[in-house]
């Protein structure tokens, strides 16, 4: 790791060489300040250290904008001034961005400047100059040593010095960059030593077995060297796993005339697609496996035993069920014997709304397998169907049968019995069922729910206010959905003091110093990895609080929320409910007369503010918009969207999501209705509103037929109330016109 001066640049040749003394340096700095439009006149009153911090940040920004000449002037000016004064000054004050300044003991500006000049010249393609400054940073900037080694390895690769590239990559021994360094080593070896690269790939895959890219490269090397058997084995694994390299692996197999899959391999591939919820592809492959199994021995057929054939048929049925092809699923399960197939057939008939078929299948299950606990699930489904058809007495009879036969499955039956009574106005009876649920410690998870509805039952039955208040007070401190409802009924004024504590000071330790440096250098992705490492080693609440602020600065909101939720009672609410992408949210919301805090709540529950979020159902981006919905909205809004991948752009996704939600609000008027439609679709909500007649909005929410939608609405409302409370806005349901 030589640090000789490159031929193309020497200190006396730099334009900064014209600056002869500190006085000239002072005017040089002022000239640059005046050239930076964003600086105010107040800048001139700052200390030299504060000015230097601002200028360094400006240099980082200029490099990102490819304004290399201006950045170079600032950075070379730094180096000249530092060499003149022969000091290694560090920042001694906190800058205006909220970053904690490093201590006087380390992090010289000289090291920072060396590193940033290395980046500048690397971006310019001046790799010899980049090598020179990175090599100096290796010694003058030890806190980011691994990142400097990575950059040096990349620069040496560009220079064609493969030995030194490998040497620098291998010098990274630990930390978040270790895996990346090993991959960089492989890239270098692929350019210079194929056999060594192959060995390195085997070692790498052993340590990181889920890296499909490495497996694909190794397979191609094996293919080129004539090791067909090993190459085909790897390529089939990639193809069957249905990952990002599946199509490429198939093309390689096809070229090798090895793309035919056995029955077992076809089933394995179908399983992969089933796991990722690509039901149409999975169904096609299961059917293909059955055809191969029926064809007998030969190139595309195999002799398979009945157990495997039955498994294929069963998985085909499960796939059809999950794809909501309930009638087809029921027909598929009919061809199988045993309790599993009969259970799934019965469920399929229920979902297909085949009342006669369902009840016949249920009777068969009850006769053949009377002690199977899944009978309780089918009976509760039968009771639900009876209830929604208006046959409430029949529903009660079925549920009491569940209580008698399967006491371990009593919770769902007791709740449904209580809810049936509540909806029919039998409030005293409903209260008794909720009391039974509260008396059993096994049901602690839903305690707040049962207390709330017991209180509402007492209130509706005309009980004295004291008993109602006593029950509501039991959950008034609960931070969830029912706690907010309880406080609203009690008229409790939400307190906001202490919800937004100040940023704590930076904890001691090299990792926290490195986090500061990475933030200053605008190395966001690297900073996020270091945050994850720091979290794993954090011990005190203060450390977690500090890391929450740092993660917020880095835009890693998912991690911020995760940190805060570890300590629900420790005053980290401001971290649990961040306002990521706030400017975009506010602009889009105000244009549609929506409360931006409501949009923030939707985003928190949809994606945790992750613009790259992708659901298994295919919903994309920060507001989890389906591509089909995006195309429909795009035509209305006239937003240019050349590819669905643009849904990963937060600003565009928010614009589309807000427009869609505003349309739902215009149609359905109430926030819970619009939320239910956003999650389950407008058609589903219209059906529910036509079918049911609820006395209050909390009843409607509790009675949403889809469990996922029911919980989604509760979560978004809880987040919405919390955001408004945090910012000292009215947060009770009545003030928000929710009920």
CATH number for the domain including 638?
A: 1.10.530.10
Full residue range of the structural domain in which residue 255 is found = 208-259
How is residue 120 written in tokens? 């500048």
Q: What is the CA radius of gyration of the chain?
A: 32
DSSP secondary structure of 199-250: HHHHHHHHH-TT-HHHHHHHHHHHHHTT-HHHHHHHHHHHHHHTSTTHHHHH
Residues 543 and 691 in one domain: no
| CA max distance for the chain | 99
When pLDDT is cut at 50, 70 and 90, the band that residue 304 belongs to is: low
Residues 187 and 222 in one domain: no
Residue 737 has pLDDT above 80, yes or no: no
pLDDT in tens, 642-664: 788 889 999 999 999 999 999 99
Residues 140 and 183 in one domain: yes
Look at residue 347 and give its three-state secondary structure: helix
Residue 401 has pLDDT above 80, yes or no: yes
Q: Is residue 495 part of a domain?
A: no
Q: Is residue 416 part of a domain?
A: no
Structural domain count of the chain: 4
Which residues make Cβ contacts (< 8 Å) with residue 157, sequence separation at least 6? 165, 184, 187, 188, 191
Residues 634 and 718 in one domain: yes
Residues 589 and 702 in one domain: yes
When pLDDT is cut at 50, 70 and 90, the band that residue 446 belongs to is: very high
d(CA 692, CA 216): 55
Residue 15 has pLDDT above 60, yes or no: no
Q: Is residue 487 part of a domain?
A: no
pLDDT in tens, 470-518: 888 998 888 889 998 998 888 877 655 445 667 889 999 999 999 999 9
Q: Is residue 78 part of a domain?
A: yes
Q: Which of 168, 202, 236 is the last residue of a domain?
A: 202
Which of the pair, 625 or 294, is modelled with greater confidence? 625
pLDDT in tens, 706-724: 999 999 999 999 999 999 9
Mean pLDDT taken over the chain: 86
Residue 645 CB coordination number (10 Å)? 11
**Residue whose structure tokens are 């039998």:** 426
How is residue 346 written in tokens? 């019965």
Q: Is residue 129 part of a domain?
A: yes
When pLDDT is cut at 50, 70 and 90, the band that residue 42 belongs to is: very low
Residues 641 and 554 in one domain: no
How is residue 156 written in tokens? 């040496």
Residue 26 has pLDDT above 70, yes or no: no
Look at residue 620 and give its three-state secondary structure: strand
Residues 48 and 190 in one domain: yes
Residues 562 and 708 in one domain: no
Treating both helix axes as pointing N-terminal to C-terminal, what angle do 596-607 and 707-726 enclose, rounded to 10 degrees? Answer: 130
Residue 448 has pLDDT above 80, yes or no: yes
Q: Is residue 321 part of a domain?
A: no
- Name the β-bridge partners of 324: none
Which residues make Cβ contacts (< 8 Å) with residue 306, sequence separation at least 6? none
pLDDT, residue 303, reads: 53
At CB < 8 A and 24+ separation, what contacts does 710-714 make? Answer: 712/605, 712/675, 712/676, 712/679, 713/672, 713/675, 713/676, 713/679, 714/480, 714/481
Q: Which 8-state DSSP code applies to residue 369?
A: -
pLDDT, residue 728, reads: 80
pLDDT in tens, 208-224: 999 999 999 999 999 99
Residues 110 and 235 in one domain: no
Side-chain half-sphere CA neighbours of 717 within 13 A? 30
Residue 445 CB coordination number (10 Å)? 8
Lowest mean pLDDT among 16-20, 36-40, 550-554: 16-20
pLDDT, residue 45, reads: 54
pLDDT, residue 297, reads: 57
Q: Is residue 153 part of a domain?
A: yes
Residues 213 and 114 in one domain: no
Q: Is residue 343 part of a domain?
A: no
| Mean pLDDT confidence for 592-605 | 97
Residues 561 and 606 in one domain: no
Which of the pair, 15 or 82, is modelled with greater confidence? 82
Q: Which of 157, 174, 202 is the last residue of a domain?
A: 202
Residues 120 and 136 in one domain: yes
Torsion of CA 47, 53, 55, 60, to 10 degrees: 180
Look at residue 30 and give its three-state secondary structure: helix
d(CA 407, CA 247): 51
pLDDT, residue 563, reads: 84
Q: 103, 112, 138: which is closest to 509 by C-alpha?
A: 103
Q: Which of 519, 547, 570 is the last residue of a domain?
A: 570
pLDDT, residue 302, reads: 53
């Amino acid at each position: 790791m030589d640090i000789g001066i490159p031929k193309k640049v020497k200190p006396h040749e730099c334009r900064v060489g014209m600056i002869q003394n500190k006085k000239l340096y002072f005017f040089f700095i002022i000239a640059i300040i005046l050239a930076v439009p964003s600086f105010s006149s107040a800048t001139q009153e700052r200390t030299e250290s504060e000015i230097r911090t601002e200028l360094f940040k400006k240099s980082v920004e200029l490099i990102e904008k490819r304004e290399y000449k201006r950045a170079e002037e600032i950075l070379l000016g730094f180096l000249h001034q530092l060499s003149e004064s022969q000091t290694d000054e560090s920042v001694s004050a906190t800058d205006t961005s909220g970053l904690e300044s490093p201590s006087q003991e380390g992090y010289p500006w000289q090291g920072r400047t060396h590193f940033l000049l290395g980046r500048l010249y690397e971006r310019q393609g001046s790799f010899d100059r980049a090598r020179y400054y990175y090599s100096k940073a290796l010694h003058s900037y030890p806190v980011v040593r691994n990142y400097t080694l990575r950059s040096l390895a990349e620069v040496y690769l560009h220079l064609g010095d493969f030995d030194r590239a490998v040497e620098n990559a291998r010098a990274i021994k630990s930390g978040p960059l270790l895996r990346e360094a090993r991959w960089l080593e492989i890239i270098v070896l692929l350019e210079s030593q194929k056999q060594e690269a192959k060995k390195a790939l085997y070692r790498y895959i052993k340590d990181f077995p889920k890296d499909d890219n490495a497996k694909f490269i190794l397979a191609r090397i094996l293919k080129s060297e004539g090791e067909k058997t090993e190459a085909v084995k790897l390529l089939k694994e990639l193809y069957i796993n249905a990952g990002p390299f599946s199509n490429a692996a198939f093309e390689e197999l096809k070229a090798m005339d090895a793309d035919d899959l056995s029955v077992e391999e076809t089933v394995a591939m179908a399983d992969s697609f089933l796991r990722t919820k690509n039901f149409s592809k999975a169904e096609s492959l299961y059917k293909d496996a059955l055809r191969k199994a029926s064809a007998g021995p030969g190139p595309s057929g195999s002799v398979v035993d009945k157990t495997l054939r039955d498994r294929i048929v069963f998985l085909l049925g499960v796939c059809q069920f999950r794809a909501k092809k309930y009638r087809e699923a029921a027909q598929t399960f009919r061809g199988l014997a045993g309790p599993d197939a009969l259970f799934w057939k019965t469920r399929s008939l229920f979902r297909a709304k085949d009342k006669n078929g369902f009840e016949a299948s249920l009777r068969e299950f009850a006769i053949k397998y009377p002690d199977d606990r899944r009978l309780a699930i089918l009976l509760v489904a039968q009771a639900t169907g009876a209830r929604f058809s208006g046959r409430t007495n029949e529903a009660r009879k079925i549920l009491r049968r569940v209580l008698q036969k399967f006491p371990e499955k009593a919770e769902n039956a007791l709740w449904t019995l209580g809810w049936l009574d509540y909806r029919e106005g039998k409030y005293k009876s409903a209260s008794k069922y909720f009391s039974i649920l509260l008396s059993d410690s096994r049901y602690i998870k839903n305690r707040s729910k049962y207390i709330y509805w017991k209180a509402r039952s007492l209130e509706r039955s005309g009980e004295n206010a004291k008993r109602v208040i006593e029950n509501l007070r039991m959950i008034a401190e609960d931070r969830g959905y029912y706690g907010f409802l309880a406080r609203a009924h009690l008229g409790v004024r939400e307190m906001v003091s202490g919800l937004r504590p100040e940023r704590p000071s930076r904890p001691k330790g090299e990792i926290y110093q490195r986090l500061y440096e990475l933030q200053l250098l605008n190395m966001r992705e690297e900073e996020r990895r270091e945050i994850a490492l720091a979290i794993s080693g954090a011990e005190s609440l203060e450390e977690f609080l500090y890391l929450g602020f740092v993660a917020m600065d880095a835009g890693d909101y998912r991690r911020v929320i995760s940190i805060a939720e570890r300590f629900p009672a420790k005053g980290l609410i401001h971290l649990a409910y961040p306002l990521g992408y706030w400017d975009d949210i506010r602009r889009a919301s105000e244009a549609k007369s929506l409360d931006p805090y409501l949009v923030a709540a939707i985003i928190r529950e949809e994606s945790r503010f992750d613009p790259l979020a992708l659901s298994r159902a295919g919903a994309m981006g920060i507001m989890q918009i389906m591509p089909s919905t995006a195309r429909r909205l795009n035509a209305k809004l006239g937003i240019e969207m050349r590819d669905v991948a643009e849904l990963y752009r937060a600003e565009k996704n928010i614009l589309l999501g807000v427009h869609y939600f505003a349309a739902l609000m215009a149609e359905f008027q109430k926030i819970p209705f619009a939320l239910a439609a956003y999650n389950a679709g407008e058609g589903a909500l219209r059906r529910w509103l036509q079918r049911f007649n609820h006395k209050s909005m909390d009843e409607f929410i509790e009675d949403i037929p889809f469990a996922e939608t029911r919980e989604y609405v509760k979560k978004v409302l809880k987040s919405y109330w919390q955001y408004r409370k945090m910012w000292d806005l009215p947060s009770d349901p009545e003030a928000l016109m929710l009920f």
